[in-house]
Amino acid sequence: MSDNPVSFSSAQLEKYKNVPALSPPPGIMPDFTARNQRADVYNILCSILLSIVYFFVFLRMYAKVWIKRSPGFDDVACVLATIGASACFGLAVAMSLHGVGKHQWDVPLSEIPFILQFGRYDGIVLPPTMLSLKLSLLLLYLRIFAPDKVTRYLIYFGMTFCFLAYTVLMFFNIFSEVETVIDTNKALGAVNLFSDVYILCVPTTAISKLQLSVKKKIGVMLVFMTGIIGCAMSMVSLIFRLQVHQTEADATYLLAGTFLVTTIEVEVGLMCACMPFFPAIVKNSPTLQKCVHSVQSLGSWTLRSSRHNSAKDVRRSYQKQYSREGSLEAGLELEGSETFTEVALPESPKKTPRMEPGAFGGGENRSSSRARL
């Protein structure tokens, strides 16, 4: 009988049900009934994120199909990436049921073949999912920055690189043994990191050439800089993938972190690909326009109120200080001095003298006395 976990027979699986998949550290006893807390956190967090992604993708498709009536290949790529993200999440949940997320010494050796097999499926599904996500973003950039020749060539290069890299990884995993599929995770992590950084840098060239003020350029660039989260997740994912392949690594424990950051990377990327289409939805919805206007009005009112309250607090603090010193009159004299006027206070509106009938011609003295009062 083979000692390779992938080719365990039924008798071997039954035999290894009480054998830990990794020798525990000194002083620690294996616990096959331990709660898989990391998997619980992963399942809850990723379920929430995936629900948000579904909502974002629905809004994007509503804007492109029903409002603009101009669906494109970037929308097809976005939908395919969403389907792939759902499949990857399902595979991760299946692996967590077999022990991924627990310390490897708390996982029976009989569960390892199932983890490896589901890992093989994940290695086949994840590359086309990442390819669809990157193509969705690059095709969106191509729509926005097509007039710029340099940016257009950069986008073409990124699309070609992603297509070749992820296609090679996918077919390599399809026709390779399970152990080899696990080894390609390092290459997949490196490709993810490079492509994320590249896609993040592409818009900066075109934005720098726009005829906008520096403030507006920074505002536009910040919209695309949300991809920094995806780059950070790619880097953390690559670190996890490298740690998993270390000798005597607690692989089942580390794999949960790898799945988590990879899922966040994909889902944040999908959100970034959908957000540019939200203004079209707001523009065509009177209800949303009212909500946005109400929020803006509330923000303006809050800002004015805070400034007014700050001015009142400054006046009150001066009055308390002068009253405590018994020289309120001196403080009132100081109000018009240079020291007090350095504090930016809103000016009180001047009241226009009320002119009553008869104020002109014969009533000048009465009206002027009222004005002075």
Q: What pLDDT was estimated at residue 63?
A: 87
Kindly report, residue by residue over 6-26, the tens digit of the pLDDT. Answer: 556 677 677 778 888 888 888
Higher pLDDT, 194 or 305: 194
Is pLDDT at 293 greater than 70 in this prediction?
no
Q: Count the neighbouring beta carbons within 10 Å of the beta carbon of residue 168.
A: 14
Token representation of residue 99: 């022990």
Position with higher pLDDT, 199 vs 248 = 199
Tokens 């004015």: give the residue: 304
Structure tokens belonging to residue 351 = 């009241």
Q: How far apart are CA 211 and CA 65, in angstroms?
A: 31
Q: Are 92 and 259 in contact (CB under 8 A)?
A: yes
Structure tokens at 216: 């507006």
pLDDT digits (tens, 9 = 90+) for 19-76: 888 888 888 888 888 888 888 888 899 999 999 999 999 999 988 888 888 888 999 9
The 10 Å CB-count burial string (b at 16+, else e) for 333-371 is eeeeeeeeeeeeeeeeeeeeeeeeeebeeeeeeebeeee
Round the average pLDDT of the chain to a whole number and report it: 75
* Most confident stretch, 133-137, 143-147, 215-219, 365-369: 133-137
Going by pLDDT thresholds of 50, 70 and 90, the confidence category of residue 343 is very low
pLDDT in the model for residue 167: 94
Phi–psi pair at 362, nearest 5 degrees:
105, -20
DSSP code per residue over 128-179: HHHHHHHHHHHHHHHHHHTT-HHHHHHHHHHHHHHHHHHHHHHHHHHTS-HH
CA distance 20 to 18: 7
